Each structure stands twice: as C-alpha cells, then as structure tokens.
Amino acid sequence: MICGLLLAAVTPARAQTSVVAKRFSFEDRGGVLTISGGFRELFDKHLQKRLRSGFATTVVMRVYLYQQGGGKPIVVRARTLRAVYDLWEQRFVVRFEDRRGRRHRKFLRDGAVIDRLTSLWRFPLMRMAKIARARNYFVAAIVEVNPMSREVLAEVRRWLRRPSGGHEGGSESFFGSFVSIFVNNKVRRSERTWKIRSQLFYKP
Amino acid sequence: MSRFEIKIVATLLGIAVIPLVASVILVGQVIRVSNSVAAGQTQRLSVPLSHAADAYRALFVARRRVFLVSAKLLARDAALLSALGSSDREGLSRRVAELVRSRGFAGLGRLAIRGPDGKVWASAQNGKQYPAARFRDLEVNEPLGGGHLDATFYTPRAPFLNFRALGRAQRAANEITTLRDELSSIYRWVFLIMFGAVLLVATGVGIFVARRTTRQVAVLSGAVQEVAEGDLRTQVEVKGRDELADLARAFNEMVGQLRENRERIGYLEKIGAWQEIARRLAHEIKNPLTPIQLAMQQVHRKYEGDDPRFRKMLDDAHAIITEEVEGLRRLVQAFSSFARLPNVQPEPVDINALLEDFFKSHVEVTQRCKEVRWREVEPVVQVMVDRMLMKHVIYNLVENAVQAAEDAGTSEALEVEISAKRDGQRVTLQVRDNGPGMPDDVRKRIFNPYYTTKERGTGLGLAIVKKIVLEHGGSIGVDSVVGEGSTFTIRLLAVDTELEAATVRTTISRLLRDAPKAEPR
Ligand SMILES: Nc1ncnc2c1ncn2[C@@H]1O[C@H](COP(=O)(O)OP(=O)(O)O)[C@@H](O)[C@H]1O
Ligand SMILES: [Mg+2]
C-alpha cells in the first residue's frame, strides 16, 4: 500500500508526450518505399515567433518502419533540419542532412520553412522488394525540436558525479552517480518532442 | 500481523524514517535555495544576453540601411547623372573611381554603372581586399537615369560570428535551466526511492525480529497452557542465549520441579494407603495366630492314643502349622514395621561418617559376598538426613544386591560399591553392584509396595527406601543391565551452613506436612 502511494507520488515527475495519429501517404517510387505527409499544426506559435530571431531552429526526425505485431523496427531513417533566418540577407537558409548527404536551400517565406521543418516528401524508407505482400505495416516517428546539445548533457552528468566541481580523479559521489543514471532516461532532451504514428498500410 | 509485530515495525519505521524525512526536507531546502540563486544568476545573464542579441539585430538592420541609403545617394550623384546623360564614358569612369576612393561611403567596395543597353560603361574597386572569411557583402542595385548603378558594400563578418555565439550561449543557458528544473525532480525521485527502500527494509526487519520473538513467546505460552491442563511432561526447546531462552530454561526447570513434587506427593500418598492396609492386615492376622498355635499345641500334647498313623499325621500337622505360623508372624512383623515407619528426624550428617557407621553395624550382610566397599568423599560433604533411616536405606539396597546374587548363585563374585559425590546443591549417593541385574519390566515396578520376585520376599524393602528418600526431599532412580548389574542413585540436598540446614529442615517438614493431607486419587 505504501509503495503504491510512493509510485503514485513519483510517476508524474516527467510529463508524458502522447502519440499523435496522422495519415501519411506511402508510394512505390522506382522500387523504393517512400513516405509523404506533414504535421505542421504541431509547430506552435512560440516556435514560429522564434523563427526570425536569427538563431537556429533544429529539427531531428527519426522515422521507424514497423510490421504490425512485430517487436523491433524493420528500418530506421533519420533526417536533421536546421533553419536559420539570415538577418543580413533577410531570407531563410535551411540545411537538410540525411543518408543522402547535406543540402542547403533558401526560402523567403516563414510558411515555406515551417513546411520543410514539419513534413516529409517522398522520403525513402526501404527497398520495396524487402516489403512483404499483404502484411500490415506502419510508421512511427519521433521528432525533436531543438534537442539538447550533447555537450550540455555531458557537462551536467559531470557536475552530478563531482558535485564540488572537483578535479579529475577526485572521489565521485555515490549519490551523484546514482542520480546520473536517472538523467539518462528521465531528463527531457529537447524543447519539444512529438511522437507520431501513421495509419496501417500494406503492399497489395 | 500481531500487535507486537506492529509495535516493533512502527518503532523501526520511526527510527528509520524520521532522519530520512528530516534530510529530505533539508535537501529540498538546499535545492530550492541553490535553484533560486542559480535562477537569479541565469536571469541576470539571460536578460543582457537577449538585449545584446537585440543590439546585434539592430546593428545589422542599421548597417544594411546605411548601405541602401548610400546606394540611393550614389544614384543621385549629379556628376554621374550628367556623364551618363551625355554618354561621357570617360567622365563616368573618372567619377566612379573618385566615388569609390572618396571614403565618403563606408564599406563601398565596388561600383559599376550600366548604360541603358545593360552593358557596363564604367566600374571601379577601392583596391582593398575583402576576403569572404572576414567580410560579408551586400549587392545593391539602383536605377540611375536611363541605366543602372550596382554597388557592392562590405561589412566585417565578426559581428555575425559574435551573434551566432550569442545564440549558442542563450541556447545553452536555456537548456541548463530546463535541466536544473528537472534535476530537482530527479533528486526528489531518488529520495522517494530511498524512502521506499528504507520503508521496505525497516518493515521486513521489524517483522522478522517480531516474528522470532513472538514465535518463542507463543511456544512458551502454549507450554504454560499444557501445564495448566495438567501435562507436567511439557518441555520447551531452548534456543539462543537471550532473555527468552533464559525464560524457557526457567520454565523447563519449574515444570520439572512441579512434576517431581507431584510424583513425590503421589507416591507418598500411595505408600500411606498401603501402610494403612499393612497395619490392618497385621492386626487381623496377628490376633488369631496365638490361639491357633496354642490350640495346635494342645491337640498335639493331649493326644494319648496309640494309633501310629494318626500320631504321625498329628506330628506333621503340628510342624507345618508351627512353621507357617512362624512365617505369618514374620510377615506380620514386616507389615507392622512398614506400617509404623518412624518420622524423619533430619540432622546434618557427614556422609563419610554415616557410611562408616553402616559398615560397623551391618557386618553380617557385607560378609555374604565378595566385597562391599565405599569410596570416601572429599571434601567432607554434609547431608541433612535421619541417621537411622538413611542407614536402613543403604542396608536395604545392599541386602537386595546380595539376595539377588545369592538367588543367581553368584554371590561369591558379587562386588557392591557405594560412592557419593557433590553435584551443585545436591549430593549423589550411588549403590552399584555387578550382580544379575533386572529386565525392564521388573525395573519399572520394583518401587511398588508388595512387588517382589523372591519366594520369601515381601516387596516392601524398596517401597520403604523410596518413601524415606522422598521424605528427605530427595529422589531415587535405578539403572540396570541384565547380566551386568544394577545401580541405584539417590539424590539428597547438601548442607553447607547452618542457614542451609534450617532451610532444608523446613523443606523436609513441609513435605512431611503436605504429603498426608493430599487427596488420594
Ligand atoms: N540389586 C538388585 N539386583 C537385582 N534385582 C533387584 C535388586 N534390588 C532389587 N531387586 C528386585 O526388586 C525387587 C523388589 O525388591 P524389594 O522391594 O526390596 O523387595 P524384596 O527384596 O522383598 O523382593 C526384588 O524382588 C528384586 O527382584
Ligand atoms: Mg528387599
């Protein structure tokens, strides 16, 4: 009974991000399964306002292809976008980075940039040949806006282990090490995290 | 959970949780203080940071505007306009070079004029180098008369780099603020987990400790119940060396004493009843014996006939009756001496002296076998006994050993050993023989009155022995192995001081007083 109360008191410590269901379209393009679709409504006012600040907005998308009922994802594809409003040239520069390499594109309108940051267009997932017929598949995506930089996380962990800010080789605090375990999976790692799930689809 | 368990667990929880709660509160306080200090710091930092960012943005806008306005001013330059209007390319070039070098227009690196045909009619650079790593450029295009003016301005890249660094710093500051907020919740988490662990451990340990104690207490109280219901054979297992074990030990001893006492009282009651029967029997038998004998003597004497067969019959009858009456007399003698056993009159007696006395006064029995010996006890041990009765006890035991050996035809080899030793508060007196011994079914009954295996025995000897020993507050037992011999063990109270003698005396007199009063069963 006591434990139950404890758990109840402890669980809400981290706000849960709920999964958003979205319709995507899946296409066979030259023997490659691609996904298209967007989630623009998730890009809220606050993020929109910051777009023209001159500072970068980074979006990391991780796209997982699952077979229904299967445990592990069949394939994982990632794309990183970085949008900066160039205060000098007064236009947006968006950097795309994925398996195919790194590209830059320039835009004038906010809307065009938001579209790019919150959508996938014919984004290749995997070779069609590898997709089984008449089986249900779905795609899940985790999209992080302005993920926490690795440097900051590492630094926080270092502080925790040596709370006195001690030098290398100083004794590590047991409590700190214990706490730093939690940092790994409890701390929110980005400004926004969206979890999106597609409808089921199959290869006829 | 029993109430006792709840109490123990609650106590342990109290002990464990109070300091933990105190430290949680304290740590929470520290976190809050340090957070608010840090928050103040970040606040102090982030406001100027955002002001700096605004300043940079304003700077960029202003710089841009300067360049745009400069371009507009250049496009109004009268010399340029007239040279262009009169298609004076020479004049145009001269004026362009002049303007670029004039330094009147900051950052102007290159200027070109295109004519109405769209071709470049004149252009000039200010001769400085503007590497892209250190400068950003802005190309401005303005209509000039019928043609165009293309101006390229250069501005140092450093402010832009600084602005980017500023952005990174702001991001980091934000991230750390978020992390810090979450860290305090993580600390709370960890404390709650520790709290739970302590709770679990304390409860577990408490239940364990309580169970162990309550189990032992339950065993004891069960045993007490059994004793209350009259089962004096009850004993509890003694485990460990704490107070509960002491209690169990004391309990066992108490029950043992109770049992001994009850047996003693029971035995003395039984003997008392038998004594009464013996007294009556002796009385009833004794009275007609003399008339029977006298009558027989008379008949025997008065017969004067000469029938030799009748004479012979009469002689035989006379002999038989005389002998049987003699036997009956002996029996009556035994019965009445059993019935009229004197009361115990204890006094402190030195065991060695007692045995010496015995050997002096009972020479005949000690001579009917190979050897009766005694080991002197050292140091001198005093017992509280009735000298006469205790000698009688030893005599009976030695006589039984001798008789048993005689019946088995081994008295030539019989050795009897009497020994005594001090054993705490008690003195153990042993009479050991190497005679025929006895089987278990006999051994169990030898203390019963009238139990005998001998043709002419009375079965009273050991009953009297046991009665005397019990009346001394002692106990008697026997071990025997057929073919090897028997050992009778008597335990008596030792006396070391006058005070103890008095205590023993009152114990004995209380025993004597209690025994007859008890209800016969
Ligand atoms: N030392 C002994 N060795 C063997 N048997 C013994 C011994 N002492 C006693 N007994 C047995 O115990 C019985 C009871 O003894 P007791 O009460 O003295 O009566 P009694 O001597 O008249 O038979 C004896 O008949 C004998 O069988
Ligand atoms: Mg006898």
Predicted ipTM of the assembly: 0.80
User: Strand, helix or coil at B117?
Assistant: coil
Q: Which of B56, B178, B192 sits opposite A9 (nearest CB)?
A: B192
B346-362: b or e for each residue (b if 16 or more CB lie within 10 Å)?
A: bebbebbebbebbeeeb
- B38 CB neighbour count, 10 Å cutoff: 13
Question: Is residue B474 one of the residues assigned to a domain?
Answer: yes
**Residue B151 confidence (pLDDT) above 90:** yes
B398 and B433: one domain? yes
- B203 CB neighbour count, 10 Å cutoff: 19
Q: What is the pLDDT of residues A169-189, one digit of tens each?
A: 445 566 666 666 666 666 667
- Least reliable range by pLDDT among B316-325, B379-388, B433-442, B490-499: B490-499
What per-residue confidence (pLDDT) applies to B498? 65
List Cα–Cα distances, B80 to B92, B139, B149, B298, in angstroms.
Answer: 6, 19, 10, 197
What per-residue confidence (pLDDT) applies to B453? 94
Last-in-domain residue among B340, B361, B377: B340
Last-in-domain residue among B173, B198, B231: B231
B51-59's contacts with Cβ under 8 Å and 24+ in sequence apart are B52/B166, B53/A53, B53/A54, B53/A55, B53/B163, B53/B166, B53/B167, B53/B170, B56/A54, B56/B159, B56/B162, B56/B163, B56/B166, B57/A54, B57/A87, B57/B163, B59/B159
Last-in-domain residue among B301, B325, B340: B340
What per-residue confidence (pLDDT) applies to A171? 52
Confidence of residue A2 (pLDDT cuts 50, 70, 90): very low
List Cα–Cα distances, A172 to A160, B26, B189, B319, in angstroms.
Answer: 9, 22, 20, 117
How many angstroms separate the CA of residue B250 from the nearest CA in chain A?
A: 42
Question: Is residue B129 one of the residues assigned to a domain?
Answer: yes
Tokens of B93: 């070039």
**Phi/psi of residue A167, nearest 5 degrees:** -80, 170
Question: Is residue B147 within 8 Å of B75, Cβ to Cβ?
Answer: no
Measured CA to CA, the distance from residue B500 to residue B425 in angstroms comes to 10
Per the omega criterion (within 30 degrees of 0), is the bond before A147 cis? no
* C-alpha angle B368-B370-B375 in degrees, rounded to nearest 5: 105
- Answer whether B190 sits within 8 Å of A175, measured CB to CB: yes
Measured CA to CA, the distance from residue B54 to residue B16 in angstroms comes to 55
What per-residue confidence (pLDDT) applies to A5? 40
User: Strand, helix or coil at A163?
Assistant: coil
Question: Is residue A142 within 8 Å of A69, Cβ to Cβ?
Answer: no
**Residue A65 confidence (pLDDT) above 80:** yes
Of residues B236 and A196, the one with the higher pLDDT is: A196
* Mean pLDDT of all residues in B278-302: 90
What per-residue confidence (pLDDT) applies to A45? 93
Q: Give the DSSP H or E segment for B143.
A: strand B135-144
Q: Which of B57, B171, B189 sits opposite A54 (nearest CB)?
A: B57
Tokens of A128: 């069609």
What per-residue confidence (pLDDT) applies to A27? 94
Cα B457 to averaged position of ligand 2 atoms, centre (Å) = 7
Mean of the per-residue pLDDT values for chain B?
87
B97 and B75: one domain? yes
B213 and B273: one domain? no
B292 and B384: one domain? no
The candidate with the shortest Cα–Cα distance to B493, out of B389, B358, B345, B349, is B349
Query: What share of chain B in percent tops pLDDT 90?
Result: 40
Domain boundaries, chain A: 15-202
Instruction: Quote the number of domains for chain B.
Output: 3
- Least reliable range by pLDDT among A141-155, B21-35, B96-110, B159-173: B21-35
What per-residue confidence (pLDDT) applies to A13? 37
Q: Structural domain of residue B329, as residue ranges?
A: 233-340
Q: Which of B57, B182, B195 sits opposite A87 (nearest CB)?
A: B57
Tokens of B326: 């003699």
Return the ligand number nearest the Cα of B449: 1
User: Strand, helix or coil at B480?
Assistant: strand
For residue B454 and ligand 1, the question of a CB distance below 6 A is answered with yes
Using the Cβ of A183 and the Cβ atoms of chain B, whether some distance falls under 8 Å is answered with yes
Listed in sequence order, the residues at least 6 apart from B134 whose beta carbon sits closer than 8 Å to its beta carbon are: B156, B157, B158
Measured CA to CA, the distance from residue A60 to residue A73 in angstroms comes to 18
**Phi/psi of residue B280, nearest 5 degrees:** -65, -45
List Cα–Cα distances, B248 to B228, B254, B255, in angstroms.
Answer: 16, 10, 10
**Residue B497 confidence (pLDDT) above 70:** no
Of residues B265 and B395, the one with the higher pLDDT is: B395
* Mean pLDDT of all residues in B474-480: 94
Listed in sequence order, the residues at least 6 apart from B372 whose beta carbon sits closer than 8 Å to its beta carbon are: B359, B365, B366, B398, B415, B416, B417, B418
B334 and B349: one domain? no
Confidence of residue A7 (pLDDT cuts 50, 70, 90): very low
List Cα–Cα distances, A189 to A162, B190, B309, in angstroms.
Answer: 22, 19, 140
Chain A contacts of B21, Cβ < 8 Å? none
**Residue B437 confidence (pLDDT) above 70:** yes
Question: Is residue B260 one of the residues assigned to a domain?
Answer: yes
The candidate with the shortest Cα–Cα distance to A163, out of B46, B31, B169, is B31
Listed in sequence order, the residues at least 6 apart from A165 whose beta carbon sits closer than 8 Å to its beta carbon are: A159
Measured CA to CA, the distance from residue B111 to residue B128 in angstroms comes to 13
Confidence of residue B92 (pLDDT cuts 50, 70, 90): very high
In sequence order, what are the beta bridge partners of A101?
A98
- Least reliable range by pLDDT among A19-23, B475-479, B517-521: B517-521
Q: Give the DSSP H or E segment for A110.
A: helix A110-117
- Answer whether A88 sits within 8 Å of B60, measured CB to CB: yes
| Chain B interface disruption, residue of A88, A180, A184, most B CBs within 10 A | A88
What per-residue confidence (pLDDT) applies to B191? 79
B18 and B167: one domain? yes
Question: Considering Cα of B323, then B329, then B332, then B333, what sign does the dihedral take?
Answer: negative
B347 and B404: one domain? yes
* Mean pLDDT of all residues in B360-383: 86
Question: Is residue B521 one of the residues assigned to a domain?
Answer: no
- Answer whether B182 sits within 8 Å of A186, measured CB to CB: yes
Using the Cβ of A129 and the Cβ atoms of chain B, whether some distance falls under 8 Å is answered with no
What per-residue confidence (pLDDT) applies to B389? 94
* Mean pLDDT of all residues in B381-401: 93
- Answer whether A188 sits within 8 Å of B178, measured CB to CB: yes
What per-residue confidence (pLDDT) applies to A174? 65
Tokens of B439: 């089987």
Confidence of residue A163 (pLDDT cuts 50, 70, 90): low
Confidence of residue A9 (pLDDT cuts 50, 70, 90): very low
Q: What is the pLDDT of residues B201-259, one digit of tens each?
A: 888 888 888 888 888 888 888 888 988 888 888 888 888 788 888 888 888 888 888 88
What per-residue confidence (pLDDT) applies to A33? 95
Pinpoint the alpha helices (H) of B229-368: 243-302, 308-339, 351-361, 363-366
**Residue A161 confidence (pLDDT) above 90:** no
Q: What is the pLDDT of residues B95-141, one digit of tens each?
A: 999 999 888 888 999 999 999 998 999 999 988 899 999 999 999 99
**Residue B323 confidence (pLDDT) above 50:** yes
Measured CA to CA, the distance from residue A61 to residue A193 in angstroms comes to 10
What per-residue confidence (pLDDT) applies to A8? 39
Question: For chain B, how long is the longest CA-to-CA vector?
Answer: 214
Q: Is residue B102 packed enough to be buried (19+ CB in 10 Å), middle (13-18) or exposed (0-12)? A: exposed
Tokens of A36: 């298209």
Q: Give the DSSP H or E segment for A22.
A: strand A19-22
- Answer whether A54 sits within 8 Å of B167, measured CB to CB: yes
What per-residue confidence (pLDDT) applies to B256? 86
- B427 CB neighbour count, 10 Å cutoff: 23
- Answer whether B175 sits within 8 Å of A183, measured CB to CB: no
Tokens of A117: 């940051």
Confidence of residue A10 (pLDDT cuts 50, 70, 90): very low
B331 and B351: one domain? no
For residue B234 and ligand 1, the question of a CB distance below 6 A is answered with no
Q: Is residue B337 packed enough to be buried (19+ CB in 10 Å), middle (13-18) or exposed (0-12)? A: middle
Using the Cβ of A2 and the Cβ atoms of chain B, whether some distance falls under 8 Å is answered with yes
* Mean pLDDT of all residues in B290-316: 89
| Chain A interface disruption, residue of B23, B155, B182, most A CBs within 10 A | B182
Chain B residues with a Cβ under 8 Å from any Cβ in chain A: 53, 56-57, 60-61, 64, 136, 138, 155, 160, 163, 167, 170-172, 174-176, 178-179, 182-183, 185-190, 192-193, 195-196, 199-200
Place of tokens 């998730």: A42
Question: Is residue B520 one of the residues assigned to a domain?
Answer: no
- A187 CB neighbour count, 10 Å cutoff: 19
Terminal alpha carbon distance of chain B: 45
For residue B449 and ligand 1, the question of a CB distance below 6 A is answered with no
B224 and B240: one domain? no
Chain B contacts of A2, Cβ < 8 Å? 196, 199
Cα B491 to averaged position of ligand 2 atoms, centre (Å) = 20
Q: Which of B61, B182, B196 sits opposite A188 (nearest CB)?
A: B182
Confidence of residue B363 (pLDDT cuts 50, 70, 90): confident
B322 and B429: one domain? no
For residue B486 and ligand 1, the question of a CB distance below 6 A is answered with yes
Measured CA to CA, the distance from residue B48 to residue B68 in angstroms comes to 30
B73 and B128: one domain? yes
B312 and B434: one domain? no
Place of tokens 């035995």: B267
Measured CA to CA, the distance from residue B494 to residue B513 in angstroms comes to 21
| Chain A interface disruption, residue of B59, B179, B192, most A CBs within 10 A | B179
Of residues B5 and A20, the one with the higher pLDDT is: A20
Q: What is the pLDDT of residues A101-133, one digit of tens each?
A: 999 999 999 999 999 999 999 999 999 999 999
- Answer whether B175 sits within 8 Å of A188, measured CB to CB: no
What per-residue confidence (pLDDT) applies to A184? 63
**Residue A69 confidence (pLDDT) above 90:** no
* Mean pLDDT of all residues in B462-485: 93
**Phi/psi of residue B479, nearest 5 degrees:** -120, 140
